[in-house]
Amino acid sequence: MPTARPTIAELAGQLAAGDTSSRELTEATLARIEAADADLNAFINVCAEAALAEADAADARRARGEAGPLTGVPFAHKDIFCTRGVTTTCGSHMLENFVPPYDATVVARLKDAGLVTVGKTNMDEFAMGSSNETSYFGAVRNPWDTACTPGGSSGGSAAAVAAGLVPAATGTDTGGSIRQPAALTGVTGLKPTYGRVSRFGMIAFASSLDQAGVLALTAEDAALVLQAMAGFDPHDSTSTDAPVADYAASLNNELKGKRIGVPGEFFDAGLDPACEQAVRGALAEFEQLGASVVDVSLPHLGLSVPTYYIVAPAEASSNLSRFDGLRFGHRAAGAETLEELYKKTRQEGFGAEVKRRIMTGTYVLSAGYYDAYYLKAQQTRQLIADDFRQAFETVDLIAGPTTPTPAFRLGEKTDDPVQMYLNDIYTIGVNLAGLPGISVPCGFADNLPVGLQLIGPHFGESVVLNFAHQYQQATDWHQQVPGDAP
């Protein structure tokens, strides 16, 4: 594994000073991927030829004096974002050979900003999973311990950043799928407010929960990428038409006088004692920075997991009905009737976890069960959102652990879906409420990274990035690389 991982800000500085070129950085990035990815399986597709062409274009752009702060920096996309002319598989056999004719808005905006796409990262199939073991293309392995999971569903992006293969990558977060893998691999993972970043061209899992974000080495890097990707998109009906803040401008704001709320519900019996110790240490660090730490309560947070696993599968059963073998994606051979084509295509194209969630979602939406399950879950979702809203009336930020344990071993929870789902117990509520959240490294447990979760009010990305950056200025947990754990 690498001994150093340059950040986006550092690489941008080198490019601006003329100390290197985008082509040199891209060639070095592709070489690292070739050397290390066999052990990690972080990438589904490496776009070497196209990446070098983009790098040359970035160098030409810089020579003309047209470069922006991100121009020429290598980057990767989770394979859930449509990329024109490049396969977009969503980690599924169903879309193994799907080549989109257009770019997702996120991809287009980051391309316009000058980032060089080196490849598409591995992920849980259709973003359904917490360990990156449901991918049709095989499990991703954690750079800190390749016998362990990197988390999911954005595990490929997290592993690639943690291992120093790329300085940053996109991810998506439906119930914690950016923050949880960020925590398990010791990187920074930002989930913006729902609607802050366009979902157009991002293959849907649960439309009212899915949100694009970024995995990076630092909060500063996350701010730079978010600046380029955020904003209203007329192609996305859930996109919010609100001004985009200058996220980098608020990174160095002092924390003196700020109030951090700590929910007692985050520190339950399921939290690993070493993880709790690391998080408590981070809270003490914030007090040294001038913030005060106060107790708050989120009384309905314990209902977030059952609520999520009704709402998300219900929306998935609707979204994934488009994969029928007729329009695009896998088509089963030998079917003699339309019904048989549907059945065989979905039987062959979807993996076990996707089928499980489709069946669950179809059940809770069926006649006689909609009111008992789906409607009740939506009412509970509102109660969870109200809890957060009330807490933010008295505090600037909410903090706690990102995950209950450090990374677990591959295969450890695959036979027990409930235990797998509980790994997202601290992250799901943020999605149900549509809030921004970030996970930053704050220590180690069993020689594996521990994540601190910071949650802000709606459109409070500047707040969470400011707190995260100030914490990273005062500590060096984010600078630890695989092999450095005490």
User: Which among 135, 136, 167, 165 has a CA at the least distance from the CA of 149?
Assistant: 135
User: Which among 34, 33, 35, 28 has a CA at the least distance from the CA of 52?
Assistant: 28
- Alpha helices by DSSP H, listed for 186-264, are 219-229
User: Which among 466, 452, 467, 481 has a CA at the least distance from the CA of 182?
Assistant: 452
- Alpha helices by DSSP H, listed for 152-191, are 155-162, 179-185
Burial (Cβ within 10 Å: 0-12, 13-18, ≥19) of residue 190: buried
Please list the active-site residues: 78, 153, 177
DSSP secondary-structure letter at 456?
Answer: -
Q: What local confidence, expressed as pLDDT, does residue 3 receive?
A: 42
- How many C-alpha atoms does 242 have within 13 Å on its Cβ side? 13
* CA gap 269, 16 in Å, rounded: 50
pLDDT tens for the chain, 486 residues long, are 334 799 999 999 999 999 999 999 999 999 999 999 999 999 999 999 999 999 999 999 999 999 999 999 999 999 999 999 999 999 999 999 999 999 999 999 999 999 999 999 999 999 999 999 999 999 999 999 999 999 999 999 999 999 999 999 999 999 999 999 999 999 999 999 999 999 999 999 999 999 999 999 999 999 999 999 999 999 999 999 999 999 999 999 999 999 999 999 999 989 999 999 999 999 999 999 999 999 999 999 999 999 999 999 999 999 999 999 998 899 999 999 999 999 999 999 999 999 999 999 999 999 889 999 999 999 999 999 999 999 999 999 999 999 999 999 999 998 888 888 888 999 999 999 999 999 999 999 999 999 999 999 999 999 999 999 999 999 999 999 997 766
Q: What local confidence, expressed as pLDDT, does residue 391 receive?
A: 98
**Size (the chain), residues:** 486
**Is the pTM of the predicted complex or chain greater than 0.95?**
yes
Torsions phi, psi for 327 (to 5 deg): -90, -45
Q: What local confidence, expressed as pLDDT, does residue 304 receive?
A: 96
Q: What local confidence, expressed as pLDDT, does residue 485 receive?
A: 60
Q: What local confidence, expressed as pLDDT, does residue 484 receive?
A: 72
- Reduced to 3 states, what is the DSSP secondary structure of residue 411? coil
Q: What local confidence, expressed as pLDDT, does residue 367 receive?
A: 86
Which region holds residue 138: left if phi is over 0, alpha if psi is between -120 and 50, else beta? left
Mind listing the domains of the chain with CATH numbers? 8-258+436-479 (3.90.1300.10)
* CA gap 124, 132 in Å, rounded: 5
DSSP secondary-structure letter at 372?
Answer: I
* CA gap 68, 299 in Å, rounded: 46
DSSP secondary-structure letter at 152?
Answer: S
